[in-house]
Structure 1
């Protein structure tokens, strides 16, 4: 068992509302989650947000896709993960190039002042199946309002979860809340079978024009 996996297991046992995985995201899942990240140019730097980066498996893929002037915010609630990420930003060759342009923000996403239309891309690793329906709705509202026009929000859920819905009504309600929250913004979904367990990646797109909404809005490709 790797050190990162052991860290995830401990976090899952002690705080499974905010840590829904027992292992870091695979390379295939990380690539799928960051496929809509676009580097900014010299005159148009971009901003990215990752919520729930854990030990940084997805962060490393995200960092490679950022331009030299792009900014990155990381919101992480686990103190142990925050400490690991802080060390990685200082010492990991995959992250040190973006460290001067990265803010590590400890705490829950609900506690952060994100600002309206602050990010071009948001990647989220929160375990929404562990949330109440009210929390699901509130978090998605915050994240979507933080997207700039034409921006993207990507997150994942574990495949096969519906088979357990009858055994856990709370998770059933949470999944229904997720579907309701993302329906107007959904761009695409992809199944990543090589992840353990298999995961489904969801990509949402903010309307290209502020104030537009619904599936018919102009979305990025």
Structure 2
């Protein structure tokens, strides 16, 4: 899919007070090792954990609080219009509060999968839908960490094209956020110092037609 805008950002959009509340809330809940798509909730053996950490090394907490969605969702709608995507979407997954400590990262990936979600309960609001729009919120002051940059690759991993990597420096200020289509490739570079906190939400809709 050809895009005029691969992402849309809002600088310092979320008040620092709200960012601090989310971080405090996230720290109060026991975190878990982040996994990649396909691994689900199964218990991993040592080899699987080692292989996973070659791709992704971070810790996450899941949140479903309405007040968080109310802060973030309006920007997803606005970005969808401003960027000219106009994707249909009607459901947001659980919010992922992510902690990246020194040395942690998430290598190249895209958020959308090749098939829609299948749920045993057909009334599940995610059943039959795909990830249309991703949003990442920066919750940390950039003075509190080094590294951990969010990067995009706009060649879409086409082997015949040269890498077209762009650092998303626009969301460095605390409370900034970026919205992008679920099929856009991206990564979080290793944190070199301190800790980086972010909030990610995937927003679902019916498959493209």
**Structure with the larger helix share:** 1
Same fold, TM exceeding 0.5?
Answer: no
**Structure with the larger strand share:** 2
TM-score with structure 2 setting the length = 0.29
TM-score with structure 1 setting the length = 0.28
